[in-house]
A = this chain, B = another copy of it.
Amino acid sequence: MGIFTGHGPLDQSEQDNFGVDWVVHYSFEEVELSEAIQEFRTLIQDLEEAHLQVQVRHGHGPSLLVCIRVPPDLLGNLVYKSRVKDWLHGIIHELPQGDDYAIVEAETPAEALRSVYHAVSWQKSLGGAGITPTLGQWKNVTAAIPLHDRSANAELLRKWSKTIFLTTEDLDAIRALFGEKVAFYFAFIHCYSCFLIFPAAWGIFCWFYMGPYSVTCGLVTCLWAIVFVEYWKTRETDLSLRWNVKDVGFLKVNRPQWVWDKEIFNPSTGETTHVFSVHRQFARQLLLIPFATVATLALGSLIILTFALEIVVSEVYNGPMKAYLEFLPTILFSLSLPTINNTLTEFAKRLTDYENYRTQDQYDLAQTSKTFVMNFITSFLPTLLTAFVYVPFGAKIVPYLDTLREHGLLSANLAREINIDTSRLQQEVIYLSATAQILNFGEEIVLPYVKQTLLHKWRDYREGRDSTRLRSYSQRTDQLLVDAPEESSFLSRVRDELEADEYNVHDDTLEMCVQFGFLVLFGVSWPLVSLGFLANNWLELRGDFFKLSLECQRPPPIRADSIGPSLQGLEILSWLGTLSTAAIVYLYHDGMEEVHMSSLLLSLLLAEWAYVSVRYIVRSGLEKISFVSLRREAAKRYAMRKRYLEATSGRVSPRGKPRVRFQDRVSVFSSATDVGSTGKDEFLHPGYEGTGRRGFWSQETADAGVRLIKALNNNMDGSRTGPVKGGKGA
């Protein structure tokens, strides 16, 4: 197959996938038979009208697999047209050569698949088949996905299991397989993990020589965080230039769910664009305020309640079953958190839907911002409470609990001294950095895999039983439902992939942001925290790729020029981290002794200023690096345009004027400068006759000047011929 040529190891994929570019999963579980037949016929018709080849096979249960293949010449032309579109929007700077029927080869499988994606999903007016899974007319189409390139995935995973660092070529390979959006996530986690090496090493040093809450350690962590965030920005620019996706956001098509309320005709392009009123959108966005308030209150009060209960139980209560009751609040919290989180996320999603964003990027941005805030609260609020409320003010809070005891609510037969545990913060940080990361990994990657495997086993068993039972029913039907032997393993793979989860790259990015936030906010209380994160991330990167390639559907290869809204999150975290680190170091450094409010505030203020200045310096420094790659890009573009100019310089002069070399023309002027007028001169100096002004330009120059020099010289001092004045030059 010609589609994926140019990428040696990827050629295999076409063979493995029977030349199937895309698979649509049509489920008629909830539809009447006649309606299902009608809908299916429309589906096939729409796909064939878009000039796509289709094949149908049966899926799991009452569903069909529609395998789609784009004829190679059509694909080549789609890729060409997509490039022309990129050029029109200024994403690429060289107009691809060719006419309307040109056929070009895709540079990467992802580029080819993007064109297939557009052919399948874009509206008919844009030349696609208009298949939008789960939406509107196609609500029974549960999925429309490309198939994984198993051998390429496996090869990458095998390679990375043996190495520590990914190369830029590895990132290119991810980009070639899954598109830029996914590749940016892997570039980010890799860049972040590499950066972690420094605080990990430094943390070991601190651990041995300085202990926790050291000023130097805090300073270094904050500085590191600033450098990392600013460096990542330059890296992002670099990669977006390398992958030709800079400013790709401009080009995104409308989401199918998007509703417009105004039509604008652009006279300069002759095209009509639809818009949704900015004011209405802004008014809808204002709903974020009540939402954020409710979310914060719900999560915040839940956390505070858990926290208070835990304190009461562990510090004050002394009744029966204390050892078990101590865990109760945390268990209750952990159990209710997913429900609350899901409710809030669902609500956030509806809000984002209602806000009606035009492109998927804007939608993702709005949704991710909301998730970010919720994650921030659930991830950091407990530790923040420990660090800045419980430990410093615990001794002041606990006496109030005595009132409870006096009222007989708590066992009063203990007169023990209440002792607030200042090491609690450290314990919490250790727990979260070491244990939680591992549990998290298991929950995210191992558990789904086990579940999936078991599910498959069970279904295979059940289907085997079903087919045995039904074999007697109808020989004809049954044969239809038995896969051809050469297709059998391929089709079972297709069915598995269609049932897999969607890969959400934002969630993975967010997880890394939370980790980064944890490190900069609380890392100073346990210097080894980054070492733990470093080890975790080595696994996490590979685990995420494993998840992406084996547990999830292959995502459509969407383009992006950054990790999206998470970048702002990183900036905010590095800022909050500086403040938090300063406060923790001040409060805990000398074990809570001699704490003055004004000194605390002063250290916060100084930390804030230091943050602003350091970030400014680091940014200016790193912008120079960015500038170099922007300049290189500009030089490349310049070279391209220059080549174009040279190639077209042989073109016919547009006004059909004979070519006169300037040298020759100018000689007309220089001979015309000294005397009177010639016909030519009059032509070239219109408007100068009659007014006497032509006289101005009619003298010879060099000799006139020399005469003037001499005259002025004489004028200055009688008869001297030496230096004109003072003779300094002599």
Q: Chain A: residues with CB nearer than 8 A to chain B?
A: 1-2, 14-15, 18-19, 28-33, 35-37, 40-41, 44-45, 48, 51, 53-58, 61-64, 66-67, 69, 71-74, 77, 84, 87-90, 93, 95, 97-102, 250, 266, 268-269, 278, 466, 470, 473-474, 476-478, 480-481, 484, 486-487, 575, 596-598, 601-602, 604-605, 608, 612, 624, 631, 634-639, 641-642, 645, 649, 651, 653-654, 657, 659-662, 665-666, 669-670, 673, 684-688, 691-693, 695-697, 699, 701-702, 704-716, 718, 721-726, 728-730
Contact call A706/B662, Cβ cutoff below 8 A: no
* A250-B631 in contact (CB<8A): yes
Residues of B within 8 A of A721 (CB): 33
Known: A28-B724, A268-B636. A480 touches B88 (CB 8 A): no
A126–chain B nearest beta-carbon distance, Å? 15
Instruction: Pick the residue among B15, B63, B480, B706 that contacts A40 (CB under 8 A).
Output: B706
Q: Which residues of B contact A598 (CB under 8 A)?
A: 596-598, 601
The smallest C-beta distance from A703 to any residue of chain B, in angstroms, reads: 9
Q: Please tell me if the beta carbons of A51 and B662 are within 8 angstroms of each other in the complex.
A: yes
- In the assembled complex, the CB of A29 is this many whole angstroms from the nearest CB of chain B, namely 6
Contacts of A36 in B (CB 8 A): 709, 724
Least CB distance, A484 to chain B, in whole angstroms? 7
Please indicate the chain B residues that have their CB under 8 angstroms from the CB of A660 in the complex: 101
Query: How far is it, in angstroms, between the C-alpha of A40 and the C-alpha of B701 when the chains are bound?
Result: 10
Q: Which residues of B contact A651 (CB under 8 A)?
A: 99
- Structural contact, B74 and A487, CB atoms closer than 8 A: no
Q: How far, in Å, is A286 (CB) from chain B's closest CB?
A: 13
Contact, CB under 8 Å: A684 / B98 = no
CB distance from A351 to the nearest CB of B (A): 18
* A32–B724 alpha-carbon span in the complex (Å): 6
Question: Known contacts A56-B704, A697-B53: does B624 contact A711 (CB below 8 Å)?
Answer: no
CB distance from A502 to the nearest CB of B (A): 25
Identical chains bound together, number: 2
Other A-B pairs beyond A67-B696, A601-B602, 4, CB < 8 Å: A14-B687, A40-B705, A48-B701, A477-B711
Q: Which of B45, B73, B673 contacts A684 (CB 8 A)?
A: B73
CB-CB nearest in chain B for A87: B641
Chain B residues, CB < 8 A from A707:
480
CA separation between A602 and B608, bound complex, in Å? 13
CA distance A110 to B598 in the complex (A): 59
CA distance in complex: A474, B97 (Å): 74
Q: In the complex, are the beta carbons of A2 and B686 less than 8 A apart?
A: yes
Report yes or no: B477 in contact with A723, Cβ–Cβ below 8 A. Answer: no
A634 and B33 in contact, given A73-B684, A97-B654 (Cβ under 8 angstroms): no
List 12 contacting pairs A-B, 8 Å CB cutoff, sorted by A: A18-B693, A32-B729, A37-B706, A44-B702, A55-B699, A88-B642, A97-B654, A101-B659, A101-B662, A266-B639, A486-B695, A608-B608
